[in-house]
Amino acid sequence: MFLLSGEHPTLPLAELEAVLGMKAEYELLKYVNNLAIYTTSRTGERFINFISKRLALTHKIYEFTGACYMENISELVDHLPKFEMPYRVRVHMPENPRKTEETERYIGNMIYRRIESSGKKPRVSLEKPKTSIEFFINGDEVYSGIKLCDINRKKLRERVPTKRPFFKPVSLDPKIARAMVNLTRIEKGRLLDPFCGTGGILIEAGLLGFRVYGVDKNEEMVEGTKKNLEHFGLNGNIKCGDATALKFSRHFFDCVVTSPPYGRLSSLGGMNIQTLYDKAMASIENVLKPNSICVIAYPTNINLNTKMKLIEIHKERINRSLERNIAVFKNRG
């Protein structure tokens, strides 16, 4: 069971399923109020470790312990698996937050009495529990889980553009950059960003173990990306070049992840923006392996012409006047 961030209407769930699919078969059982419950062909510490270290748009991971209607909450409590003490109980009621504390006490007392009736002494710790039993209530529906881990989003915040040696205001948020890398659906390999800018996508890809390649027309961006990669202990093949005429061997890359310019004249080299995108997509098709993934963020007013197959698309509002798509394509080769 996963608690998603809710920072985007569709991207968190898409990122989660892309990462799950790298290691396991899965089936979505329920998705409500940013809570996603799955059956997966794999479980265990190594599996949870892998997904928790990759995800950017998920907050917490739980062992799913059951679901019921509120009137049957005692049965859900009676069927909780064994857990370590000290423990705590948390209740999440996004639709009725005023009742959270009252409901938490009610369920907490029920669990306390259940432990006592088993002949054990209940030990509760609100600050440092070994077990956090959490209940998510949506209307009359209740979903419960034991928390396995929190996603460490602090490190993502430490990589925001303003904390890098080189940055520009248009740089991608690290959470979005990492989610885009995860949408490639591969663990590692050769990744290209043909519009690398300040290197935000390459930083996230490098930290995940990809061999990163970056191209940009602007020498300042190339040198800035190199500084940023070095700042995070990463190496990459970064060079000045033209995304519309990439100088790499045919089918060289395992994936492409990029966010081209949105129409700033200085970044287009005098080329019409639609022409820039058309030529860049053709060039990407040439250097990307067959059946491999290209993830691209682009403004919604651009018509993205490509022979690649569209897999999914996610719309995002950047500001009052700009919306962008994050699209996932599979190269036909």
H/E/C letters for each residue in 29-54?
A: EEEECCEEEEEECCCCHHHHHHHHHH
DSSP designation for 302: S
Give the domains, in start order, of the chain with CATH numbers.
2-150 (3.30.2130.30), 158-330 (3.40.50.150)
- Do 134 and 160 contact (CB within 8 A), yes or no? no
Residue with tokens 């859900």: 76
Note the pLDDT of residue 270.
67
Note the pLDDT of residue 170.
79
- Tens digit of pLDDT for each residue in 53-106? 999 999 999 999 999 999 999 999 999 999 999 999 999 998 888 999 999 999
Contacts of 264 (CB under 8 A, 6+ apart): 170
Tokens read off for 79: 């069927």
Tokens read off for 30: 């329920």
Tokens read off for 255: 């994936």
Note the pLDDT of residue 266.
40
- Do 194 and 167 contact (CB within 8 A), yes or no? no
Question: What is the band of 171 on the pLDDT scale with cuts at 50, 70, 90?
Answer: confident
Indicate the residue type of 44.
Answer: G
- Tens digit of pLDDT for each residue in 104-161? 999 999 999 999 999 999 999 999 999 999 999 999 999 999 999 999 999 999 999 9
Helix 11-23 vs helix 45-54: angle between axes, to the nearest 10 degrees? 140
Pairing verdict, β 26-32 and 35-40: antiparallel
Q: What is the pTM of this model?
A: 0.94
- List phi, psi (to 5°) of 24: -155, 160
